[in-house]
Amino acid sequence: MSYAYLFKYIIIGDTGVGKSCLLLQFTDKRFQPVHDLTIGVEFGARMITIDGKQIKLQIWDTAGQEAFRSITRSYYRGAAGALLVYDITRRETFNHLTTWLEDARQHSNSNMVIMLIGNKSDLDSRREVKKEEGEAFAREHGLVFMETSARTAANVEEAFINTAKEIYEKIQEGVFDINNEANGIKIGQQHSPTNPSLPGSGGAAGAANSGCC
């Protein structure tokens, strides 16, 4: 389980847009999508390879945490990527994107890569939001856009991996400060997979260790 980098993702969007299903579909392909059965989970991790490097994606869903201001504000920070998901069969989930995006931009670090996802593309007959609208929104706000289906697994891989690629590029460009864990990127300990203790986790971690553990 050694990796070069760990990228932390968050998934945001209205409830019921299929965030946790997307997550499960990506992190655990063994769950074959079955019609009429939606299974999701709010945390997951998976290894991918970019540019010959092993990269671990760790994804945190934010479901159920909107009630408290302190929680929402901290969530966005500390993520290197965010998937902003709406449901193409429910117009209102698309309409709420602006609010989500505002929140994300306000609280996240400015380098966070945001990908816009129109989910449930398999339900084309019930579509309420045209693909072009999603594209236009993404263009306007500088996001990458993709329509996915957690059910047919269409584009799910691509959505997560493309986001990772973009983060990886930013690292190569030196935009992300990878030594700062608050950015949602951790450098893995390639040669000591059994030791997950965090390298250079800065003061917060140091303080933490003495406090409780």
Partner 1 sequence: MFRSRSWFGGPWGGRPKNRLSLDHLKYLYSILEKNTTVSESNRGLLVESLRCIAEILIWGDQHDSLVFDFFLEKNMLSYFLHIMRQKSGGSSFVCVQLLQTLNILFENIRNETSLYYLLSNNHVNSIMVHKFDFSDEDVMGYYILFLKTLSLKLNTHTIHFFYNEHTNDFPLYTEAIKFFNHPESMVRIAVRTISLNVYKVQNSSMLRFIRDKTAAPYFSNLVWFIGKHILELDTCVRTDIDHQSNQKLSNLVAEHLDHLHYLSDILLLDIKDLNAVLTEHLLHKLFVPLYIFSLTPAPPPPSLALVTQNLAAVLNRNVDIDIQEMHNPRVSSIVALYLLSLVFLVVSHAPLVHALAWVILNGDHSVFKEGAAEILNSYVEHREVVVPGFGEPNESLEQALDTVTGQSSVSSYALSEDSGVESSSPATTEVDAQAEVDAATKLRNITDEEKELLQKSSGSGKADFGELAKPFLDTVLQALDCTENDYLALLSLCLIYAMSHNRGIKNEWFEQVLSKSTRGSFSYKTALIEHLLNIITQSSQPSCRIRLITVEIALELLVTFTKPSSDEARCITTGQQDLLFSARNQSMLVLRNFYKSEDIFLDLFEDEYNEMKKAQLNVEFLCMDSAILLPPTGTPLTGINFTRRLPCGEVEKARRAIRVYFLLRRTCQKFLNERESLLPLTNVVTLVQVDNTLDLNNSDLIACTVVAKDNTKQRRFLVIDALQLILVEPDAKLLGWGVAKFVGFLQDVEVQGDKDDSRCLHITVHRGGVTHNRTPLLSAKFLFDDHIRCMAAKQRLTKGRSKARQKKMYQIAQLIEIPGQMDSPVYAVGGTTAAPSGSSSGSSSRSGHHRPIFSTANRVPGFAAVLRNSNTAGVSRTQMAQNRSIEGIRNESAGRSRRRSPNGTTLRADPSDRDRSPSVSAGSHSSSQSRENSQPRSSGNRSRESSPRMPRPRSEEIPLEDFQHSRNNSPHSRGNASPASRSHTPVRVLQYEISVHSGSPREPSLVGTNALLSQLNGVPLAREVLPVQSSEETSFIGNDATDGGGGSDSRRKGAIETV
Beta strands in 40-169 (DSSP E): 43-50, 53-61, 81-87, 113-119, 144-147
Q: Which stretch in 29-37, 97-105, 131-139, 165-173 sits in contact with partner 1 by CB under 8 A?
A: 29-37
**Nearest distance from residue 129's CB to partner 1, in Å?**
26
- Distance, in Å, from the CA atom of 108 to the CA atom of 110, rounded to the nearest integer, reads 6
203 is a contact residue toward partner 1 (CB under 8 A): yes
189 is a contact residue toward partner 1 (CB under 8 A): no
207 is a contact residue toward partner 1 (CB under 8 A): yes
- Of the candidate residues 2, 29, 51, 71, the single one contacting partner 1 (CB under 8 A): 71
For the chain, the C-alpha Rg in angstroms (whole number) is 17
Q: Judge contact between 86 and 118, C-beta under 8 A.
A: yes
Structure tokens at 130: 């045209």
31 is a contact residue toward partner 1 (CB under 8 A): yes
- Of the candidate residues 2, 15, 16, 28, the single one contacting partner 1 (CB under 8 A): 28
- Distance, in Å, from the CA atom of 154 to the CA atom of 205, rounded to the nearest integer, reads 39
187 is a contact residue toward partner 1 (CB under 8 A): no
Compute the residue count for the chain: 213
Instruction: Determine how β-strand 53-61 pairs with β-strand 43-50.
Output: antiparallel
Using CB under 8 A as the binding criterion, the count of chain residues that bind partner 1 stands at 50
205 is a contact residue toward partner 1 (CB under 8 A): yes
DSSP secondary structure code for residue 176 in this structure: S
- Of the candidate residues 4, 8, 17, 87, the single one contacting partner 1 (CB under 8 A): 8
39 is a contact residue toward partner 1 (CB under 8 A): yes
Best CA proximity match to 105, nearest among 131, 135, 132, 79: 79
Residues 41-70 that bind partner 1 (CB under 8 A): 41-45, 58, 60, 64-65, 67-70
Instruction: Determine how β-strand 5-12 pairs with β-strand 185-187.
Output: antiparallel
Structure tokens at 84: 């902003």
Chain residues that interact with partner 1, rule: CB under 8 A: 6, 8, 20, 24, 28, 30-31, 34, 37-45, 58, 60, 64-65, 67-71, 73-75, 77-78, 177, 180-182, 195-198, 201-205, 207-209, 211-213
